[in-house]
Structure 1
Amino acid sequence: MKRFDPWSVLKLSLVLGVAMFFVWLVAVGVLYTVLDGMGVWDKLNGTYSSLVGGEGANASSEPLISAGRVFGIAAILGAINIVLVSALATVSAFIYNVSADLAGGLEVTLSERE
């Protein structure tokens, strides 16, 4: 392989990044649902409200961990991941092209099985 087209690498990494973004959100959703079913979020939010508001206070504040907050943070992290992976793949294609020009690239030999 003599050369990778950086534009093609960028397009492919963006498509794969978006696909992995949706896989990431589904995984976060499943994990959130399982932990919510176990009552983990209720205990954590109760502990947080008792630490911040005090034992005797009836503060009806917003919970620390909610579905909107979890999915919002997961979406931000997923978007950052898409940008970073695409940039890394494109820079890697440039680096490979430069090193292939210096060293001659990879030689791949295909043969039939007998």
Structure 2
Amino acid sequence: MHTVEIAGSGRRYACAPGQNLLRAMEVLGQRGIPAGCRGGGCGVCKVRIEAGQYHVGKMSRACLTEAEQRAGLVLACKTYPDSDIRLRPVALLQRCLERHAGRRESA
């Protein structure tokens, strides 16, 4: 098992090597990465990998350009850890985390 850290949120979860980053989070009932089609075609789960080794499956170039991928952006639904991972929210994910944090503070 590898540990996935969502940078800036204090959240961590376990992910098996053969499991994609998004599915591992969902199986554990965690929140943090927004989900759309779960098949690499919508781009909703785009994140930036800051640290760690990983490999990716086929992703739509309409959602993730080669330049974005070289810059460390990936789709969580098509990314598999080879080591512990630290990922950084992109704009949509950052808003989701901030909204969820606000709910916890008001509870």
**TM-score normalised by structure 2 residue count:** 0.27
The structure showing larger relative contact order (alpha-carbon pairs under 8 Å, at least 6 residues apart) is: 1
**TM-score normalised by structure 1 residue count:** 0.26
Q: Would you tell me which structure has more strand in proportion to its own residues?
A: 2
Q: Would you tell me which structure has more helix in proportion to its own residues?
A: 1
